Structure 1
Amino acid sequence: MDRKPRDVGSVPRRIWLVGLSGAGKSTVGPLLARRLGYRFIDLDGQIEELAGETISHVFRTGGEAEFRRLEARAAARVAEVTDIVVATGGGWMARRDIDRTSGGRVRVWLRVRPETAIHRLSRDRAQDRAPPRPLLAGPRPEAALSALLAARETAYAEAELTLETDGLEPEQLVEVALRGLRKLTEKEWKNRP
């Protein structure tokens, strides 16, 4: 596969997608990576590779603390890789114990309303396209997701680019992302001494 960007203009070489579960990171990420000729990396997949087990199993046996430890290792493992689009876990951006800005990465917040995220997650679960989300396993997942958004929103807002995902199909979101990423790159070049 050709890893050189194809007719997309100048964009950052390390793109990290952040946001709630159900925002579309794992759906949009591969499409964006393909469009750019970049590699797609799902941080949850990296965690499962390090653990040798599923995310659900990590939560059952080691709890959230073990998951977060593995998440930090997985993020460090891919931090310096270039020409990548990374889908992070929903809580990655809210972590204060890791450096979320190193490596010249551009963080893109895929902003979604909790009710939209729950609808997407429920649809994906019904179609066996998504694993269970341990932090949303209770009887009121929308309330849990709303609480997670309230706790993480300030951290998500630190992203260099925010994209509203409600009402957009994945392919449309890729186009919006490319426009936003190009503008970021243009702004960076204009602001250099």
Structure 2
Amino acid sequence: MSSVPRRIWLVGLSGAGKSTIGPLLARRLGYRYVDLDREVEELAGATIPRLFRDGGEAGFRRLEATAASRASRETDVVVATGGGWMARRDIDRTSGGRVRVWLRVRPETAIHRLSREGAEARPLLAGPDPAAALATLLAAREAAYEEAEIVLETDGREPEDVVEGALRSLRRFAARPPADREGRTEGQQES
């Protein structure tokens, strides 16, 4: 396998495909897969909906910070973050040795994907209009997502196609001189 970064963090809205693409990409690379939401549940001994119900979003975010800190020390890892992780003001959003891959999705597509789980699985989308809630979250988080080094469109694409696009983009990113790795270039966007 060509050289690729050793710390890959997938970011994007709920329903973008992080928990689908993450394990596939990790398997292809021979890396460990970490789902931050599952790590939070393991730390707390409770589901995310229960954490939100009992401790609110602030309690969840504290546990998420702990899980992210642990994952950031690993190498040869693909990390699927929660939808809000990249937009947190209390974290270091610089790459810090990790390459962030934004799995970009339209809110309509994400809602369709998430409808299979039920709204109760996503506390920030619970309510009468999950589509409107997701569009609001995207508007609030999009500037943070745009800080990612790589952008991959997931709308209308099969998971294996997204993984292939990720591998191509990761190889291009790794081939660039270190001084040129800051920021994203047009050539890194896969559509």
TM-score (norm 1): 0.90
Q: Deviations over 1:157-190 (max 9, x none)?
A: 0000011110111000000000001111111358
Q: State yes or no: 1:38 paired with 2:27.
A: no
Cα RMSD, aligned residues only: 1.6
Q: Distance in 2 between matches of 1:163 and 1:61?
A: 35
Q: Deviations over 1:105-129 (max 9, x none)?
A: 0000000000000001113x17xxx
- The answer (yes or no) to whether the contact 2:120–2:126 under 8 Å persists in 1 is no
- The answer (yes or no) to whether the contact 1:80–1:103 under 8 Å persists in 2 is no
- The answer (yes or no) to whether the contact 1:29–1:40 under 8 Å persists in 2 is yes
Q: Which runs of 4+ in 1 moved over 6 A?
A: none
Q: Of 109, 113, 122, which aligns to 1:133?
A: 122
Q: State yes or no: 1:177 paired with 2:170.
A: no
Cross-structure match for 1:22: 15
The alpha-carbon distance between structure 1 residues 162 and 170, as it changes in their structure 2 partners (threshold 3 A), is same
Q: Of 132, 138, 154, which aligns to 1:149?
A: 138
Q: State yes or no: 1:168 paired with 2:157.
A: yes
Q: State yes or no: 1:84 paired with 2:73.
A: no
Aligned-pair distance for 1:98?
1.0
Q: State yes or no: 1:54 paired with 2:43.
A: no
Q: Distance in 1 between matches of 2:99 and 2:114?
A: 26
The alpha-carbon distance between structure 1 residues 65 and 170, as it changes in their structure 2 partners (threshold 3 A), is same
Q: Which runs of 5+ in 1 are unaligned?
A: 1-6
The alpha-carbon distance between structure 1 residues 113 and 81, as it changes in their structure 2 partners (threshold 3 A), is same
Aligned-pair distance for 1:104?
0.5
For the residue of structure 1 that corresponds to 2:177, the secondary structure is helix
Q: Deviations over 1:118-145 (max 9, x none)?
A: 001113x17xxx9710000111001000
- The answer (yes or no) to whether the contact 1:109–1:159 under 8 Å persists in 2 is yes
- The answer (yes or no) to whether the contact 1:109–1:163 under 8 Å persists in 2 is yes
In the alignment of these two chains, the number of paired residues is 181
- The answer (yes or no) to whether the contact 1:28–1:174 under 8 Å persists in 2 is yes
Q: Distance in 1 between matches of 2:25 and 2:122?
A: 24
